[in-house]
Amino acid sequence: MIIVMRKSATEEQIQLVMKAVTDEGLEPRRLDGVERTVIACIGDERATSAERFEVLEGVDRVMPVLQDYKLASRDGALERTRVPVRDVIIGDREIVVMAGPCSVESEEQIVSTARAVKAAGARILRGGAFKPRTSPYAFQGLAEDGLKLLATAREETGLPIVTEVMDPHNVELVGRYTDMYQIGARNVQNYALLREVGQTRIPVLLKRGMSTTLKEFVFAAEYILAGGNPHVVLCERGIRTFETATRNTLDLNALPVLQEWTHLPVCIDPSHGVGVTRWVPPLARAAVAAGADALMLEVHPDPAHAWSDGAQSLDFEGFAEAMDGIRRVAAAVDRTLPQPVA
């Protein structure tokens, strides 16, 4: 079961409820959300009852949760989760677009991209400094120098940044710079890494693996939530199928399923999902039509010369055009996207 505390609950009341949970032989897992605190009870609940906790001060309600992913499950949630990334909220009416290059390459590249995507209505700057590459001989990212360049671009534009962390040992280092961690497709079941970011309170963009079932994906999110970090955004980025015409197959099925199973915001990444620049905008529009809360789009000043993923990156003009189309679909489904700045 999940114990939902009142918004007005005091720290002392929360502590007393945690103790009561322990006294009943269960393990309390506390999650401090933007709105309120919830306490998940882990263990065999047969020896206790909801009434035991409902009478405690500060408790709003006690809800049964049938799924094993107690913290991610929509059952225990009163409302959908909103994830704050500095001043940007993911999971509100506004579609949050995270845009930028696959890899951070230079100051000129990342700052010019930050300016261009901001002008077109993006709210978060993306860019990889630690890159998971298939070949060990391919460009692996600028590492900390790349993080510094992202921080410069944030200073120049005010856009919060999202960047990938691949190694549990780098969670602290990346956390010194970033406003949101990205956990990439290849690391979605790296449980040591999930646990480590779960110990922070920095928001996490968790990407689905290329052969992860939606159940496995939700359990990966549960690892982060169970550590006490409530700020998780799920990201579908394409899965492996028999199809070879596209890089991956963007599984938009994931959207309604994840939104039914969980209270977490869902982001769609059509760039990796389809892997071909000209096919990205229609899929971005489809994602918004189907209810996505956020989009991740790769944008580069000169895609033909990008150090990674140029074949799926939009240039500045293409991005602005894509955003116009996304804006029209957003309006049709009662969502918003910031207007471009002339």
* Structure tokens, 118: 């901001």
| Residue 273's binding partner out of ligand PEP, Mn ion, none, with CB under 5 to 8 Å set by partner kind | none
Nearest to 118 by CA among 284, 340, 302: 340
Interface with ligand PEP, residue 128, by CB under 6 A: yes
Among 58, 91, 184, 301, binds ligand PEP (CB under 6 A): 184
Beta bridge partners of 73: 262
CB 131, min distance to ligand PEP, A: 7
Q: Is 158 in the site for ligand PEP (CB under 6 A)?
A: no
The whole-angstrom separation of Cα 279 and Cα 18 is 50
Binding mask 196-225 toward ligand PEP (x if CB under 6 A, else -) reads: -----------x------------------
> One symbol per residue from 309 to 338: x for binding Mn ion (CB under 5 A), - otherwise; what is it?
x-----------------------------
Whether the Cβ atoms of residue 271 and residue 278 lie closer than 8 Å to each other: no
* Contact with ligand PEP (CB under 6 A) among 25, 64, 132, 158: 132
What's the N-to-C CA distance of the chain in angstroms? 51
Q: Is 105 in the site for Mn ion (CB under 5 A)?
A: no
Residues of span 223-252 touching ligand PEP by CB under 6 A: 237
| Closer residue to ligand PEP (CB): 111 or 185 | 185
Q: Which is nearer to ligand PEP, 6 or 186 (CB)?
A: 186
What gap in Å lies between CA 321 and CA 73, rounded to an integer? Answer: 37
Q: How far is the CB of 226 from ligand PEP (least distance, A)?
A: 22
What is the total count of residues that contact Mn ion (CB under 5 A)?
2
Integer Cα distance of 319 and 98 in angstroms: 12
- Regarding beta strands 37-42 and 27-32, do their DSSP bridges make them parallel or antiparallel, or are they unpaired? antiparallel
Cα-Cα-Cα-Cα torsion 328, 278, 99, 294, nearest 10 degrees, comes to 50
Which residues, in sequence order, are CB contacts of 168 under 8 Å at separation 6+?
A: 190, 192, 193, 195, 196
- Contact pattern for ligand PEP over residues 256 through 295, marking x by CB under 6 A: ----------------x-----------------------
Cβ-based nearer residue to Mn ion, 94 or 309:
309
- Residue of 31, 102, 161, 250 that binds Mn ion (CB under 5 A): 102
Q: Among Mn ion, ligand PEP, none, what does residue 154 contact (CB within 5–8 Å per kind)?
A: none
Contact 261, 213 (CB under 8 A): no
- Among residues 238, 239, 203, the alpha carbon closest in space to that of 221 is found at 203
CB atoms within 10 A of CB 286: 16
Closest residue by Cα to residue 103 from 158, 162, 146: 146
Those residues with Cβ within 8 angstroms of residue 297's Cβ, 6 or more apart along the chain or in another chain: 97, 98, 99, 122, 269, 270, 271, 280, 284, 314, 319, 322
Select from ligand PEP, Mn ion, none the partner in contact with residue 6, using the beta carbon and a kind-dependent cut-off of 5 to 8 Å: none
Which residues, numbered 79-108, are part of the site for ligand PEP (CB under 6 A)?
A: 102
Task: Go through the chain and tell me how many residues it has.
Answer: 342
Residue span binding ligand PEP (CB under 6 A) among the ranges 49-57, 153-161, 183-191, 322-330: 183-191
Give the footprint of Mn ion on this chain (CB under 5 A): 102, 309
Site residues for ligand PEP per CB under 6 A:
102, 128, 132, 184-186, 207, 237, 272
